[in-house]
Amino acid sequence: MTTAERPGPALQPEMGFFTDTSICIGCKACEVACKEWNRIPVDDMGLTGMSYDNTQGLGGSTWRHVAFVEQPLPGRTPGDGHGGHEHGHGHDEHGHGGHGSHGSGGHGGPGADLGHGGDGRVVAAGELGGGQTATTGDGGSRLRWLMASDVCKHCSRAGCLDVCPTGALFRTEFGSVVVQQDVCNGCGYCVSACPYGVIDQRPGDGRVFKCTLCYDRLGDGMEPACAKACPTRSIQFGPLEELRARARERVGELHRAGVGEARLYGEDTEDGVGGDHAFFLLLDEPEVYGLPPDPVVPTRDLPDMWRHAGLAALTLLAGVTAAFALGRGETRRAPRTAARRGAAQAVRRAARAGKRGMGR
């Protein structure tokens, strides 16, 4: 059975997440709800110097991660004597998020304003390409915040599921991939097999942990805790096909509003992972959000590799068999040839002896 095949009732639709980053406000309610419901241990958080991002990425104890990507906008830039900031990230000299005030930071939907520019005027959606905007206190610099809540993608062709030697990972009737901690032996094969770097071993434990799509909540007819807690509905949960249709419609709305950079990520069922059960609407290239531009499951080419290895083995076996058969044939012919030579020599000797006898 391939990883795309799912057990359970045939009428159960595949479920998933659609994360619309254009309306994410970076509140981290999803992170908190995920930790509370799943009783995930606290992260070893500290000052990262990366805007308001204190978790940096997904891991064994971080199943939801809200990224804060800061981009300087055209106009007066930080560090030119007007903004009072040195590197264009909105941080003071200690790495804290400056003294500026946030823009009005609306949603990137049709007709919505996205904030105020450094000159105090309202900035339209199409002008900045979406996202939340902020200005420094003196109005000297303009920044665009790209915020996105990342999570396990629950790939349709899951490398972690393919390489697990103990069967600790399994695909649920909802299409999600879940780890059974009581079966996991901590080998770590799945860690290297994940093209997104999501699944990870928990320090001090050794076993792997990741998002379960709140499998226990789904069994009781509830939506995942993160989607339930999201105040802007940036995280949407539902049947996968419905979400994909909704996402395509949302991209069209943003394009009509002038946000040409809006694109979907992970919804293509023909990509290197067979499509994700958690896909995103992004406002910039995937690399800007720390996502691989063309993820490929490492086990995708295994069937071809085994096929080629089998052909090579059969070719080698045929060669060895042929060499053995020819060798045996030569071995059998050798005594016969020697016998024939001996008989011929005996005939010649008899003939010579007869000639000598006749001469006498």
CATH match for 15-289 among 3.40.50.300, 3.30.70.20, 3.30.1330.100, 3.50.50.60:
3.30.70.20
pLDDT of res. 322: 82
Q: Are 46 and 56 in contact (CB under 8 A)?
A: no
CA distance 120 to 137: 11
The b/e string for 51-60 (b: 16+ C-beta within 10 A; e otherwise) is: bbbbbeebbb
CA distance 57 to 298: 21
DSSP states along 31-92 = HHHHHHHHTPPPP-----SSTT-SS-S-BTTBS-EEEEEEEEPSSSPTTSSSS--SSSSSB-
> Is 164 a residue whose pLDDT tops 60?
yes
| Number of neighbours of residue 272 by Cβ within 10 angstroms | 17
**Lowest mean pLDDT, pick from 47-51, 98-102, 181-185, 312-316:** 98-102
Residue 340, CB-side half-sphere exposure with 13 Å CA sphere:
5
DSSP-assigned beta bridge partners for residue 18: 236, 279
Please give the model's pTM, rounded to 2 decimal places: 0.69
For 57-105, what is each residue's pLDDT tens digit? 899 999 999 999 888 876 544 444 443 333 333 333 333 333 333 333 3
CA neighbor of 267 nearest in space, from 294, 240, 288, 290: 240
Look at the block and give the residue holding tokens 């001090």. Answer: 204
